[in-house]
Amino acid sequence: MEDNLKYPIGKYEYTGGFSTEERQALIAEIEEAPQKLYEAVAGLSEKQLDTPYRIGGWSVRQVVHHLPDSHLNSFARFKLALTEDCPKIKDYNEAAWANLTDYEETPLEISLKLLECLHQRWVIMLHSLSDEEFKKRFYHPENGTVSLDYNLGLYAWHGKHHIAHITSLRKRMGW
């Protein structure tokens, strides 16, 4: 049961390389994520926003603020990989970021809009990439060498993963 709450759509699985059609479907998922997030949090009260999606998990509010933080990092990693030869990227402590004051004090609308605008830029860039460019890589200190193909799938999954945290909580709570 705990794994269902932590990974409501399952863990990310990469089978190696995507076809052009599969990439287009993943890009569409990234494009749709901001609207799906807006819909997932629509009408929630402040108390509901402060409810963790599982015991020991982040609150809905933290999940919403986490998404643009994480996706900004991914967007930057794409740009670095496209302009440098397998650059070493900086990882970050997402749990520590989620406990910073801005996660409590920033209105949700700011992070929702940030994610929306970021994804608009990201999708434009993703549509412009060739098959060869999706093979470019960066080096992650914890995960080793990562291709842009892998990262595309990961972040399409990542948005759906966190949105499912919210929608499954709403369903369980009858919100």
Q: Which tens digits make up the pLDDT trace of 7-38? A: 999 999 998 889 999 999 999 999 999 999 99
- Per-residue model confidence (pLDDT) at position 15: 87
More confident site: 3 or 109: 109
Q: What percent of the chain has pLDDT over 70?
A: 99
Q: Is the pLDDT of residue 112 over 70?
A: yes
- Per-residue model confidence (pLDDT) at position 108: 97
d(CA 124, CA 112): 19
- Per-residue model confidence (pLDDT) at position 160: 98
Helix then strand then coil, in percent of the chain rounded to 5, is 65, 5, 30
Q: What is the pTM of this model?
A: 0.95
CATH superfamily name and code, 19-173:
dinb family like domain (1.20.120.450)
Q: Is the pLDDT of residue 1 over 70?
A: no
Give exposure, 64-77, as e/b (b: 16+ Cβ within 10 Å): bbbbbbbbebbbeb
Say which amino acid occupies 49. L
- Structure confidence by residue, pLDDT tens digits, 151-170: 999 999 999 999 999 999 99
- Maximum separation of any 2 CA atoms in the chain, in Å: 50
